[in-house]
């Protein structure tokens, strides 16, 4: 009885992991672009980047998901709930990751950049060989942290009909009249996934640390 429930929610767990993984990866790429805009020498781009970050960090994810889920059909684009969910999570995490990246770039020691310039590296080389690798290493823990936050926040996609852990638990709770068991199993899944994520994150972080400048 209990085992069948655990296996049932396992399907939801696969969905949760899948949409979180897509959102965090695509969101990172988008975050790089937003961060580049925020650090750009062009004032218009900087303003645009700042507005993006402010808006997507200022609106609750639930509201963002509802907005995308209902706005896209209203302008003639019909998307299934899963796609709306991934778009919402991606746009939101990109704003947070852009801010983390910006912090990483601003924390690259000016001495390192000056030294690189002294030995004759050009701007492109300095960016690709000095600033980018150091910034990425600096933000790595923040990315892991963001992945954990995103995994938890992804529980909200159940509202737009995606069959994730939380949605499966809701169905289980209403069909068995045992909400305590259903939501405890759901919580245990999230906890387990987060422990795996943070454990994997710290060992990756140690591996990256071997090349510390």
Give contact residues for other proteins (rule: CB under 8 A). Answer: 54-55, 57-64, 66-67, 70-71, 74-75, 152-156, 158-159, 166, 169-170, 173, 178-180, 183-184, 186-187, 190-191, 194-195
> Which residues, 6+ apart, have CB-to-CB distance to 195 below 8 Å?
none
* Token pair belonging to 113: 């950049």
Residue with smaller CB distance to other proteins, 31 or 88:
88
Q: How far is the CB of 129 from other proteins (least distance, A)?
A: 34
Q: How far is the CB of 168 from other proteins (least distance, A)?
A: 11
Give the DSSP letter of residue 122.
-
Residue with smaller CB distance to other proteins, 88 or 104:
88
Residue with smaller CB distance to other proteins, 170 or 205:
170
Residue with tokens 């600033």: 131
Proportion of the chain in helix, strand, coil states, percent, rounded to 5: 85, 0, 15
Q: Say how far apart CA 96 and CA 58 lie, in whole Å.
A: 11
Q: How far is the CB of 159 from other proteins (least distance, A)?
A: 6
Q: How far is the CB of 153 from other proteins (least distance, A)?
A: 7
Residue with smaller CB distance to other proteins, 109 or 199:
199
Q: How far is the CB of 120 from other proteins (least distance, A)?
A: 41
Q: Say how far apart CA 181 and CA 187 lie, in whole Å.
A: 10
Within the chain, what is the greatest distance between any pair of CA atoms?
Answer: 71
Torsion angle, alpha carbons of 69, 71, 77, 82, to 10: -10
Residue with smaller CB distance to other proteins, 88 or 134:
88
* Token pair belonging to 122: 């050009």
* Token pair belonging to 83: 């796609």
């Amino acid at each position: 009885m209990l085992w069948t429930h655990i296996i049932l929610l396992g399907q939801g767990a696969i969905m949760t992991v899948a949409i979180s993984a897509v959102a965090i990866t695509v969101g990172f790429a988008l975050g790089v672009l937003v961060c580049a805009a925020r650090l750009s020498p062009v004032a218009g781009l900087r303003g645009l980047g700042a507005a993006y970050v402010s808006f997507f960090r200022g609106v609750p994810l639930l509201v963002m998901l509802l907005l995308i889920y209902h706005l896209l059909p209203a302008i003639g684009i019909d998307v299934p709930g899963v796609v709306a969910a991934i778009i919402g999570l991606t746009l939101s995490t990109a704003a947070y990751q852009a801010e983390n990246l910006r912090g990483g770039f601003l924390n690259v020691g000016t001495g390192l950049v000056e030294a690189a310039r002294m030995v004759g590296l050009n701007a492109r080389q300095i960016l690709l060989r000095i600033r980018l690798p150091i910034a990425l290493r600096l933000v790595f823990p923040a990315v892991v942290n963001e992945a954990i936050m995103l995994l938890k926040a992804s529980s909200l996609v159940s509202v737009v009909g995606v069959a994730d852990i939380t949605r499966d638990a809701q169905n289980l709770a209403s069909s068995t009249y045992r909400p305590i068991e259903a939501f405890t199993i759901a919580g245990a899944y999230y906890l387990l996934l987060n422990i795996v994520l943070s454990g994997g994150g710290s060992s990756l972080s140690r591996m990256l640390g071997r090349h510390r400048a």
